Structures are given as C-alpha cells and as structure tokens.
A and B are shown apart, each in its own frame.
Chain A
Amino acid sequence: MAYIMLTLLIGMVLGVISVASNPSPYFAALGLVLVAGVGCVVLMGHGGSFLSLVLFLIYLGGMLVVFAYCVALAAEPYPEAWGEWSVLGSVLGYLLLVVGAGSWFWGGWYEGMWVPVDELIEFSVVAADSGGVALMYSLGGGLLVVSAWVLLLTLLVVLELTRGLARGALRAV
C-alpha cells in the first residue's frame, strides 16, 4: 500500500511537471488530465471517496472538457511535445528542482509515513467526507447562497466578455 501511494505521488509530480514545462496546449491538457486522475486516487487512498468523485465529475468532466474545446484556439501546424528540446530542458530543470528539494526532506521519511492509519473510533453510516460536505447545506447555507450568486455573476461576466459587435471586448468581429 505504501508503494502504491509512492507511485501515485510520483505520478502526480511528474504530471504537474509535464504541464508546467509548457508544451503545446494539447499535451499540457493531457498532462492535466493525468494529474487530476492520479490526484483522485490519492484522495481515495486517504479515505475521501466522495471528494474524489466530485473532483472527477466537476473538474475532469466539466472544466477540462471546456479547456479541451478551447485548445482548438491554440492550433498550430507543428505542436511541440516533450521531445522538443525547449520543452525537455524545462522538464529536466523542474525534475532536478523537485529531486533537489526532496533530498532535503527524505532523510526523515520512515515506513509508516506514506499511508495514514484509519482510525475506526466508531462505526458510522455516513462517511466522513460526505457528512462534512452535507454541512454546506445546513450550517453553511449562507455561503452556499453567496457562491450561487458568484456563479450567476460569472455567467454574466463571461457573456459580457464574449459579446462582440459594439460593446464588450470583441469590437469589430
């Protein structure tokens, strides 16, 4: 189990390096999908299955799909993947940085540190993270209303930004 968690954490860092080295956006979006998938499994390994499901549905299924459609705006005839020297240099630089920073810390890492110990204090019907999210609807109702208002405002902002014709950011198109 500790080895699985080690693999997942390394996969997450490698995925973020593949996004941060700035290849062509096609490949960066692919790297982001990898990071989100591996991050979901990390969350599941710590017992947060509901939050992992939410991440998969909303982040991967909602936001990244929209990003994938917008990648069509960044079309170029010869997209640069990670084999291109300019991108590979960034990848190697970031790898060196992460390994260098990790070498400061990994002296103190011991066997039991990789996977948290499950504490079964009592048996309950509701899982921990699901029960916590349900608080958003009861005690945190005010913040729920505020975030719904923020989402509505963002919709209007986006519609205003892409309005076109006379007003907005698109003038003559």
Chain B
Amino acid sequence: MTPTHFTISSAFLLGMMGLAFHRTHLLSALLCLEAMMLALFIALSLWSLQLDATGCSTAPMLMLAFSACEASAGLALLVATARTHGTDHMQALNLLQC
C-alpha cells in the first residue's frame, strides 16, 4: 500500500470511526461525514491523476455535487432538530428510549 493510498484510506476510516463514536452534538457527526466525503473526493481525484486516466476526472466533480446535496439535507435536519428540541444534543433525541 503506497503512503498516499494509506493516508486517504486512514482518513476515510478515521472519519467513519468519528461518526460512529460521536458523543454530544449532532453537528460533530455531520462534520465527520463531511470528512469522509472529503477523503473520498481526494481518493477519486488521485485515482484519475495517478493512472493518467483523465476521463475519470468527472467522478470527483459529480461526487462533490452529490455530497453538497447530502450536507445540505443533513444541515436542514440539524436546524429542524435545534428548533424543535432546543439543542442539537443527541440526548434530546430520546423518542426510542426505553
């Protein structure tokens, strides 16, 4: 595994672990999701650059567009949570708590 490949893989996995082990805020989970999307963008760009396959350059552009859509949907949910529950703390989302 080349150092670059190792870096982007570990960036993606660290973001995923941060998303899984988030503590208080919903927003920090969304930020970890954004870090995963960033690692994916850099991975797709480096793929097309290192293989000299210029046709693959459209993949990171489209991925960025869809990741923007996903970020805006997540932030709209965050705003809705903050306006109904008062905070974005995960403890406030206790509808399924037994």
What residues of chain A have their CB less than 8 Å away from a CB belonging to chain B?
Answer: 5-6, 9, 12-13, 16-17, 19-25, 28-29, 32, 35-36, 39, 42-43, 46-48, 51, 54-55, 58-59, 62-64, 66-67, 70-71, 73-74, 86, 90, 94, 97-98, 101-102, 105-106, 109, 113-114, 116, 119, 128-129, 131-133, 135-136, 140, 143, 147, 150-151, 154-155, 157-158, 161-162, 164, 168-173
Q: Is B31 in contact with A147, judged by CB distance below 8 angstroms?
A: no
Identify the closest chain B residue to A62 (Cβ). B68
Chain A contacts for B15, CB-based, 8 A: 16, 19-20
Q: Count of B residues near A, CB < 8 Å? A: 65
Closest 6 CB pairs of A and B: A20-B18, A132-B57, A132-B54, A169-B80, A154-B69, A161-B76
B66 touches A73 (CB 8 A): no
Check A119 against B52 for contact (C-beta < 8 Å).
Answer: yes
Bound-state CA distance A157–B79 (Å) is: 13
Cβ-based interface call for B14 (8 A) = yes
Contact at A73–B79, with CB atoms within 8 Å?
A: yes
Give the chain A neighbours of B34 by CB distance below 8 A: 32, 63-64, 67
- The prevalent SS among residues of A at the interface is helix
**Contacts A67-B75, A136-B58, A171-B84; is A151 near B69 (CB within 8 Å)?**
yes
Cβ-defined partner of A170 (8 Å) among B21, B35, B83: B83
Using CB atoms and an 8 Å cutoff, list the residues of chain B in contact with chain A.
1-4, 6-8, 10-11, 14-15, 17-19, 21-25, 27-28, 30-32, 34-35, 38-39, 41-42, 45-46, 48-50, 52-58, 60-62, 64-69, 71-73, 75-80, 82-84, 87-88
Q: Are B1 and A105 in contact (CB under 8 A)?
A: yes
9 additional A-B pairs beyond A36-B38, A168-B80, beta carbons within 8 Å, are: A16-B11, A22-B28, A32-B34, A32-B35, A51-B60, A55-B45, A62-B68, A74-B25, A94-B17
- Chain A to chain B contacts (Cβ below 8 Å), 29 pairs: A13-B14, A16-B10, A19-B18, A22-B18, A22-B28, A22-B32, A23-B28, A48-B45, A48-B48, A59-B41, A62-B68, A63-B68, A63-B71, A66-B75, A67-B75, A71-B27, A73-B79, A94-B14, A129-B45, A131-B54, A133-B57, A133-B58, A135-B55, A143-B58, A147-B66, A151-B68, A169-B84, A170-B80, A173-B84
